């Protein structure tokens, strides 16, 4: 099956599940649901079952559930007025609006748990090539899945873990630049790598370069060195239920804090480069399906969590905006004026539009430039 079909299908599934959260919660508390759509209008196809119209729109940027009375001034037939959104207690409205993001967050936790418990987590490095850097010499000679068995005629096929990484690093480091090393300088001599690809033994030559990591990478422990640019695949070890649960929560918390950091520094040009839109999310997922199904599922989990978190931002028309104003109403004892909410909606819409434009611009730059580097 095409990676594009899987990627678009996976993204559509996340949207449907998000909207299904709203839909089933609304039905559960007695609200009237008029429409349940994947994507936005104009309508492509629809079918009506009972009081609800189910359909698919032409603009693939999300989806929506239309509940009767979602605006305070909406004219509502008398016979269904008691089931309208704004005729319900605040707690029911919060349950219905919060159900969508909650589904995405819970789904992400479940995905991370299943990956750790069933597929396993990477253990100590093996001699199988994992990630290959697009911007370093290895990209021209190595592929993910190659088995590295020798460097400059020195056998390393039986090594694992630190023994392997230290030995290969030492052998690559013997190839030095002419004069004092500077970022990007090439070694005087190429390294000879013996690999096994598709069952066949091959010899390739790769000229190492002196690589100076970014400040962030150096803080993480990566030092300047001669490199050819690849990582090692680890032996995947299925985790116990407790360990898988711990991994799931830790991974979700890391993504949450990273997302918060990006948005808190959105005025920083470097942080804005981290934002990805629908196009980028779909492209990363597609590339991941081509590279590794496990990674693709993990990416879907990350996207699901991000959808849930972003939708909880306290700005209309996002779900978090509806929750915020419901809480304001409960605290004040009366509903905010329609004018106040319309102004809030304008600010929220401007923010959402800004995020969309930044994400789309970044996605186009990655697609036409250096790519998404999913490996």
Distance CA 353, CA 350 (A): 5
Distance CA 322, CA 341 (A): 10
Q: Is 19 noted as a catalytic residue in this protein? A: yes
8 A C-beta contact, residue 257 and residue 306: no
C-alpha distances in Å from residue 178, one per residue of 28, 162, 209, 243, 353: 72, 29, 11, 49, 51
Cis check: omega of the bond before 284, within 30 degrees of 0? no
**Which residues are CB-neighbours of 274 under 8 A, at least 6 positions away?**
262
Task: Tell me the two tokens of residue 227.
Answer: 């490199």
Cis check: omega of the bond before 317, within 30 degrees of 0? yes
Residue among 253, 319, 311, 306 nearest 280 (CA): 306
Task: Tell me the two tokens of residue 45.
Answer: 């196809």
Residue 174 CB coordination number (10 Å): 13
Active-site hit among 19, 78, 223, 261: 19
8 A C-beta contact, residue 102 and residue 210: no
Cα distance from N-terminal residue to C-terminal residue, the chain: 21
Task: Tell me the two tokens of residue 231.
Answer: 């990582």
With both helix axes pointing from N to C terminus, report the angle between 3-28 and 293-311 in degrees, rounded to the nearest 10: 40
Long-range contacts of 68-77 (CB under 8 A, 24+ apart): 68/31, 68/32, 68/33, 68/34, 69/32, 71/338, 72/335, 72/338, 72/341, 73/338
Distance CA 360, CA 349 (A): 16
Catalytic residues: 19
């Amino acid at each position: 099956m095409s990676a594009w079909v899987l990627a678009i299908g996976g993204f559509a599934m996340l949207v449907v599940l998000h909207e299904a959260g709203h839909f089933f919660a609304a039905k559960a508390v007695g609200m009237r649901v008029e429409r349940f759509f994947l994507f936005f209008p104009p309508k492509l196809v629809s079918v009506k079952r009972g009081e609800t119209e189910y359909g698919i729109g032409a603009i693939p940027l999300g989806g929506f559930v239309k509940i009767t009375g979602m605006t305070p001034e909406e004219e509502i037939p008398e016979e269904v007025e008691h089931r309208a959104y704004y005729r319900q207690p605040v707690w029911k409205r919060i349950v219905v609006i919060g159900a969508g993001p909650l589904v995405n967050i819970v789904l992400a936790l479940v995905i991370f748990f299943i990956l750790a418990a069933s597929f396993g987590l990477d253990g100590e490095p093996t001699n199988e090539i994992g990630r290959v850097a697009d911007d370093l010499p290895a990209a021209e000679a190595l592929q993910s899945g190659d088995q590295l068995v020798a460097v400059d005629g020195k056998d390393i096929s039986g090594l694992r873990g630190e023994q392997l990484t230290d030995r290969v690093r030492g052998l690559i480091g013997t190839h030095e630049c002419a004069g004092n090393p500077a970022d990007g300088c090439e070694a005087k001599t190429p390294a000879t790598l013996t690999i096994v690809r598709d069952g066949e033994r091959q010899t390739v030559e790769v000229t190492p370069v002196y690589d100076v990591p970014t400040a962030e990478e150096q803080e993480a422990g990566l030092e300047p060195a001669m490199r050819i640019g690849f990582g090692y695949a680890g032996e995947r070890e299925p985790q116990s239920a407790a360990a898988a649960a711990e991994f799931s929560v830790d991974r979700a918390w890391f993504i949450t804090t990273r997302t918060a950091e990006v948005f808190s520094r959105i005025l920083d040009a470097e942080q804005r480069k981290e934002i990805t839109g629908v196009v980028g999310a779909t492209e990363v997922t597609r590339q991941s399906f081509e590279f590794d199904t496990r990674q693709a599922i993990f990416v879907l989990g990350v996207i699901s969590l991000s959808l849930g978190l972003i939708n909880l931002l306290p700005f209309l028309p996002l779900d978090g905006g509806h929750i915020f104003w419901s809480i304001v109403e409960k605290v004040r004892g009366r509903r905010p004026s329609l004018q106040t909410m319309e102004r809030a909606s304008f600010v929220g819409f401007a923010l959402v539009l800004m995020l969309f434009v930044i994400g789309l611009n970044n996605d186009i730059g990655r697609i036409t430039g250096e790519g998404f580097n999913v490996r």
